[in-house]
Amino acid sequence: MDKNFHLEVLTPHRKFYEGDVEEIIVTITTGQIGILKGHIPMTAAIGTGTLQIKKDGQWREAFISGGFMEVKRDSVTILSSAVEWPEEIDVARAQAAKERAEEKLRQKKSRQEHLLAEAALKRALMRLRIASKYQNI
């Protein structure tokens, strides 16, 4: 019995991934969710975190942030603002974004600016975590 389903991951700038996979684990706004072939159809909002893809018994992890996912019984489509493999993460840029966000959080800004800075900090920290895990930083 074939355990694979089709996964397509798109960003505004490129087709990040397309192919058959055994399983995915993705961060959504309420936590993480695992998807196997035959999963109940659903949609979910993507959070800031990781996208883990299992293909041929091997796992690969990527940074993901924002967007949504549509799950069908034999396919998953993810439309995301940003998805990056660990080797694609610009560590210097992520570190600079982290520092900018931390500075904005130290300033007494409006609630909206505070929320935006928190989101930017979360994205930067997740990029740095994934990069350090795979890039020997």
DSSP for 68-93? EEEEETTEEEEEEEEEE-GGG--HHH
Where along the chain do the CATH 2.60.15.10 domains lie? 5-84
Closest by CA position to 97, among listed 127, 137, 68? 127
Q: Could you tell me if 46 and 64 are in contact, meaning their C-beta atoms sit under 8 angstroms apart?
A: yes
**What confidence tens digit (pLDDT) does each residue in 21-40 have?**
999 999 999 999 999 999 99
**CA–CA–CA angle 95, 9, 68 (5° rounding):** 80
pLDDT above 80 for 3: yes
pLDDT above 60 for 137: no
Residue 136's pLDDT band (boundaries 50, 70, 90)? low
State mean pLDDT over 36-45.
Answer: 96
Class of domain 5-84: mainly beta
Residue 114's pLDDT band (boundaries 50, 70, 90)? confident
pLDDT for 28: 97
pLDDT above 90 for 2: no
Average pLDDT, the chain: 94
- Phi and psi dihedrals of 63, rounded to 5? -80, 140
**What confidence tens digit (pLDDT) does each residue in 74-113 have?**
999 999 999 999 999 999 999 999 999 999 888 878 889 9
- Per CATH, the number for 89-134 is 1.20.5.440
